[in-house]
Amino acid sequence: MKEHTTISLGHGSGGLMTRELLDDIIFKAFSNPYLDKKHDGSVVQFDGPIAISTDSFVISPIFFKGGNIGELAIHGTVNDVAMCGAMPKYLSLAFVVEEGLDIQEFKTIINSIKTTAEVCGVQIITGDTKVVERGKGDKIFINTTGFGAVHPKAKISADRIMTGDKIIVNGNIAQHGMAIMSQREGLEFESTIESDSTNLNFITQKLLDQFGDQIHLYRDATRGGIASVLTEIALDINKGVAIHEKHLPLDRQVAAACEILGLDPLYVANEGVFVAIVDEPIADDVLEMLRNDEKGTNACCIGEFTEEYPTKVVMHSGIGGKRIVSPLIGEQLPRIC
């Protein structure tokens, strides 16, 4: 690989250059008994139900405050599996690289993936690398698909939500979207706004250990933010949602950035925020457990499910007003994940 400083079409040929790229960078980074077989796929075994989730990551820029596309591709899919009440164990990893990508940047991304996968406790067991001509992609797109064993106590399903159920978020919202937007717009704040990209698999399993089927639903609030998650659920289960503005956990600088750019933080993407919808009687205990965990220090109960306004999300403002939170129409922040 010494002679190459950028990715070329030959790296996607399936021939010697592909093999060198795999051997020198990818297999070396992720070596494990599954990948080392270098077959078209890998064979794994699970006892019991398996949660599966897939996501493609097309974020721009690929390096941003608080992370990069590689880290995000692991967190994103690990979290989607976790939202099914499962502990992610294996991931597939597929790249679509634009000709001309700097090989050092590619290596940095691979190293991030390696480190992040280790922290999350997942193994990369199979993969794919394609290269497209300059101008037919944008540096790098990554797909990850994750597999995990469902927690034995988990009964995660929107149809288990009852009137009175509490809506808890684990931390400050709108960080990820505003980190990307600030960077794109060249905005400077007292301190840098960083993406909240992180893994939620351990905390979500811990809650299931303790509270089992009293946790009715997990959803991570990525593209479209908290508003999109809640408006979708309200519509799907034909119940109303009341949320309380004063309980929304929101960093002061993120709030300021949203003001400047005219964005509503409810719609801004997160990468480390999830919504837990839980039986009303356990809400305080869930909050306490979250606040004692590093992934939930700013956890808040932001609202509840109601019989009023079925299919609608209603925001109660600090001064006693009410407004309907509409579903996001069109695009707010393209390529945020």
Site for a copy of itself in 140-179 (CB under 8 A): 141, 143, 145-147, 150, 156-158
Q: Shortest distance, CB of residue 288 to a copy of itself, whole angstroms?
A: 26
Task: Give the total of residues touching a copy of itself (CB under 8 A).
Answer: 84
Q: Are 101 and 225 in contact (CB under 8 A)?
A: no
Both structure tokens of 335: 């390529």
Q: How far is the CB of 236 from a copy of itself (least distance, A)?
A: 7
67 binds a copy of itself (CB under 8 A): no
Site membership for a copy of itself, residue 65 (CB under 8 A): no
Instruction: Return phi, psi of residue 176, to 5°.
Output: -60, -55
Give 83 or 300: the residue with its C-beta nearer to a copy of itself: 83
End-to-end CA gap in the chain: 30
Helix (H, G, I), strand (E, B) or coil at 80: helix
Give the residue among 121, 93, 130, 109 at the shortest CA–CA distance from 13.
Answer: 130
Q: Binding segment for a copy of itself among 10-18, 24-32, 63-71, 306-314 (CB under 8 A)?
A: 10-18
Residues in 38-57 at the binding interface with a copy of itself, rule: CB under 8 A: 38-46, 48-57
Print the binding letters for residues 182-211 with a copy of itself: x by CB under 8 A, - otherwise.
Answer: ------------------------------
> Any contact of residue 105 with a copy of itself (CB under 8 A)?
no
Using DSSP's 3-state secondary structure scheme, residue 278 falls into: strand
Q: Considering beta carbons, is residue 68 or 270 the nearer one to a copy of itself?
A: 270
Q: How far apart are CA 88 and CA 123, in angstroms?
A: 9
The interface with a copy of itself within residues 74-93 (CB under 8 A) comprises 80-81, 83-84, 86, 90, 92-93
* Residues 251/172, Cβ–Cβ less than 8 Å: yes
Verify cis geometry, omega within 30 degrees of 0, for the bond prior to 249: no
Q: Compare residues 73 and 286 and give the one whose CB is closer to a copy of itself.
A: 73
* Helix orientation angle between 252-261 and 175-185, rounded to the nearest 10 degrees: 50
| 2-10, 66-74, 198-206, 243-251 -> range binding a copy of itself (CB under 8 A) | 2-10
Shorter beta-carbon distance to a copy of itself: residue 37 or 252: 37
Min. distance of Cβ 314 from a copy of itself in angstroms?
Answer: 18
Residue in the block written with tokens 């250990």 = 209
CB 270, CB 66: distance < 8 Å = no
Least distance from C-beta 234 to a copy of itself, angstroms? Answer: 13
Site string for a copy of itself, 254-273 (x = CB under 8 A): -------------x-x----
Question: Quick one: which of 28, 134, 136, 246 contacts a copy of itself (CB under 8 A)?
Answer: 136
d(CA 311, CA 230): 10
133-150 as b/e: b if 16+ CB within 10 A: eeeebbbbbbbbbbbbbb
Binding-residue pattern over the window 312 to 331 for a copy of itself, x denoting contact by CB under 8 A: ---------------xxxxx
Binds a copy of itself by CB under 8 A, chosen from 114, 223, 239, 312: 223
Report the alpha-carbon distance of residue 175 to residue 328 in Å, rounded: 18
